[in-house]
Chain A
Amino acid sequence: MTTLTPPPTMPTAATPAATGGRPATRPRNAPQRKKARQARALVLPALIFSVVMTQIPFLTTIYFSTLQWNQLRPDEIAFNWFKNYAVVFTGPDFLPSLMSTVIITGSSVVLSLLLGLFFAILLDRKFVGQGLARTLMITPFLVMPAAAALIWKWSMLDVNVGMVNWALNTVGLPSVAWNTDLPIVTIIMLLTWQYTPFMMLILLAGLQSQSREVLEAASVDGAGPWRTFQWMTLPHLRQYIEIATLLGSIMLLQAFDPIAIMTKGTGGTKTLSYLLYERAFIGLDVGQAAAFGVVTVVVTIAVATFALRTLFKVFINGGER
């Protein structure tokens, strides 16, 4: 199922906090019923559009996943129950691919989160050109991923003319053939570069929402900067860190562009989404690709459920900030 159910900790009635500050009153009299009808009419178009464009294709994917269907033999389409799933789980590709996905997503999330926190702390200070520095810092996240992958591959990491290798040579280190010798590192590096600004933006918003007075009071009371950070800033940042981590994970889990452009799935970079692409559009096995697709969705939903719980916790605890 793609429609996630709300976590059980949620109050069942739509409380003001949970729905973002507006009580969902039960329509009692005629004008209120009319209002509720109007409200439904407002939500319905978006809802129908979403169902048609996302849910129906997904259900069809589930159906495809139970078919024996290779595009090379289009007249041999047949129902084969869960055979595709058996192939997925017992085949040699699934586990390594799941591992690649976990390693690439996990490392990129952790690295960009740490770097993002570091930059957020640096940019939270008042200094000359603060605004400009922030503007420059967010740019990598805005760069089209396909363009970023191409520029990194050919202009930064190329063995002969790449700037990174030139920098390595300048300090006396040998050139590295990043794309072919260290494909996982290459992908993680690029993703970290692109997602550090994303993490930084959310964490910076968290830092700036801290009450200055409380921080000043702490400093007057003789708390050093490290203790203030550890006992006041970090707990305050917790929910921002959670949101950043989880939204970042969801986006990074779906990262496809750098892998398609830089490594083409070689050297342990064949993530689930790339594997699915390869099965469907190079291997032409629709049934198996669909099964991979369904499994990918299940993995994503496992992550997304945590993400949703956190998002809603923010609404409940903090209301609308």
Chain B
Amino acid sequence: MRKTRGILITAMTWVLVLMFFFPIGWMVFTSLKSEGDAALIPPRFIADLSFDQYAIVFERGMGAYLLNSLTASVGSTILVLLLAIPAAYGLSIRPIKKVKDVLFFFISTRFLPAAASILPVFFILKSVGALDNITAMTFLYAAMNLPIAVWMMRSFFNEVPLEIVEAAQIDGANLRTELVRVVLPILLPGIAAVALICFIFSWNEYFLATLLTTFQARTTPPFLASFVDGRGQFLAVLSAAATIAVLPVIIAGWAAQKQLVRGLAMGAVK
């Protein structure tokens, strides 16, 4: 009796999970169909599959947009790490006064909607000719992700046993060796997690990319809509483009599952 109930709950769980996942699975399946099959109703669950749509996606120049996304995401992630690791260290292991105020400041910039700064940013970039510039996007994404990175990084630093740091200091290690030789190796998993989260948010960003880029520096999210074709069928090719666009982040997210929750909760939840 009890066992039957368990099996029923498991079955229900799986049905619900698969329903939830269905749009993504269907997107991948559609991307492998021909345009004609993709638009059939009732839908075909068995069809000839091929990677033809993917070839079309790249023929339409998606590569350049993916490269822009990659540049801005990786560049901003590196910049964020360079700023956030020392800052988090200063806020955790090396006690400074007003830690709380500084943390509040960082988190408040995260809560500031992009709406608050988009107009000046637009006009400043326009006046210096940096609209549609991937370096500008890199810096903006770094600013967007810095607060999460500082908070998350600090929660990892807080787990480094003070004794280890103190032992290193007694050995006469100066600040840099202390940071690089002793603390950093312990933190590598944490740093990887922070990097993944920053990468995910930059890669998926749409608002700034739509408004501040046109062609040269256009990233993948705003480019995707160009696969919607008012005249012909486009479901399969759109699905292929979307699949390529979401794949890097999904893989990164799956790999960093355990750390994901912590980053999303800014270090408040493990």
Seen from chain A, the residues whose Cβ lies within 8 Å of a Cβ on chain B are 2-6, 10, 14, 18-26, 35-36, 38-43, 45-47, 49-50, 53-58, 60-61, 64, 119, 122-123, 125, 127-129, 133-148, 150-152, 154-156, 160-161, 163, 166, 170, 193, 196, 198, 201-202, 204-206, 209, 240, 243-244, 247, 250, 253-254, 256-257, 260-261, 272-273, 276-277, 280-281, 286, 289-290, 292-294, 296-297, 300-301, 303-304, 307-308, 311, 314-315, 320-321
- Once A40-B90, A320-B158 are accepted as A-B contacts, the answer to whether A46 and B83 lie under 8 Å apart by CB is yes
Report if A142-B261 is in contact (Cβ < 8 Å); known contacts: A36-B96, A137-B17, A308-B104: no
Give the 4 A-B residue pairs with the shortest CB-CB distance, closest first.
A57-B117, A53-B143, A42-B90, A60-B120
Q: Is the CB of B154 within 8 A of A20?
A: yes
Selected contact of B109 from candidates A55, A289, A321, CB within 8 Å = A55
Q: A57-B117, A150-B228, A281-B211 are in contact. Are A142 and B99 (CB under 8 A)?
A: no
The answer on a CB contact under 8 Å between A125 and B9 is yes
Are the C-beta atoms of A22 and B158 separated by less than 8 Å? yes
Interface pair A137/B21, CB less than 8 Å apart? yes
B95 near A49: Cβ-Cβ < 8 Å: no
B residues in contact with A145, CB < 8 Å? 204, 206, 221
Interface residues of B in 4-30 (CB under 8 A from A): 6, 9-10, 12-14, 16-18, 20-24, 26-27, 30
With both chains docked as a complex, state the minimum distance between the C-beta of A276 and any C-beta of chain B, in angstroms: 5
Contact B257 A134 (CB under 8 A): yes
B113 x A47 contact (CB < 8 A): no
Interface size counted on chain B using CB atoms at 8 A: 109
- Chain B residues with Cβ under 8 A from A144's Cβ? 203-204, 206, 220-221, 224, 242, 245-246, 249
Q: Are B221 and A257 in contact (CB under 8 A)?
A: yes
* Complex: A60 Cα to B111 Cα, angstroms: 18
A161-B87 in contact given A21-B158, A53-B143, A314-B268 (Cβ < 8 Å):
no
Docked Cα-Cα span, A280 to B118, in Å, equals: 10
Task: Give the Cβ gap from A304 to chain B, nearest Cβ, in Å.
Answer: 4
Known: A49-B143, A166-B42, A254-B114. 14 other contacts (CB 8 A): A4-B104, A24-B97, A39-B89, A39-B95, A41-B90, A57-B117, A127-B13, A140-B23, A144-B206, A150-B225, A151-B242, A202-B265, A273-B114, A280-B119
Looking at chain B's contact residues, is the secondary structure mostly helix, strand, loop, or mixed?
helix
* CB–CB A133/B104 < 8 A: no
Interface residue? B180 (CB, 8 A): no
Q: Is the CB of B92 within 8 A of A22?
A: yes
Cβ of A60 to closest chain B Cβ, rounded Å: 4
Contact present for A152 and B115 (CB under 8 Å): no
Return 16 A-B CB contacts under 8 Å, by A number: A14-B98, A54-B117, A57-B124, A142-B249, A142-B250, A145-B206, A146-B206, A146-B224, A151-B27, A154-B234, A155-B23, A193-B20, A198-B264, A202-B269, A273-B113, A276-B115
Instruction: Assess whether B116 is in contact with A61, with CB atoms less than 8 Å apart.
Output: yes
Given contacts A154-B228, A293-B118, A294-B116, contact A47 B109 (CB under 8 A): no
A139 touches B104 (CB 8 A): no
**Cβ B97 vs Cβ A36 within 8 A:** yes
CB closest chain-B residue, reference A1: B108
Could you list which residues of chain B lie within 8 angstroms of chain A, going by C-beta atoms? 6, 9-10, 12-14, 16-18, 20-24, 26-27, 30, 39-43, 83-84, 86-87, 89-102, 104-124, 139-140, 142-143, 146-147, 150, 154-155, 158-159, 162, 175, 200, 203-204, 206-207, 210-211, 220-222, 224-225, 227-228, 234-235, 238-239, 242, 245-246, 249-250, 252-254, 257, 260-261, 264-266, 268-270
From known contacts A250-B111, A257-B221, infer whether A321 and B87 are also in contact, taking CB-CB under 8 Å.
Answer: no
Q: List, in ascending order, chain A residues with CB within 8 A of B113's CB.
A: 253-254, 273, 296-297, 300
Which of A142, A201, A315 has the largest count of B CB atoms less than 10 A from its CB? A142
A47-B115 contact given A20-B155, A146-B221, A151-B27, CB 8 Å threshold: no
Chain B residues with CB under 8 Å of A146's CB are 204, 206, 221-222, 224-225, 245
**B270 is contacted by which of A19, A38, A321 (Cβ under 8 Å)?**
A321
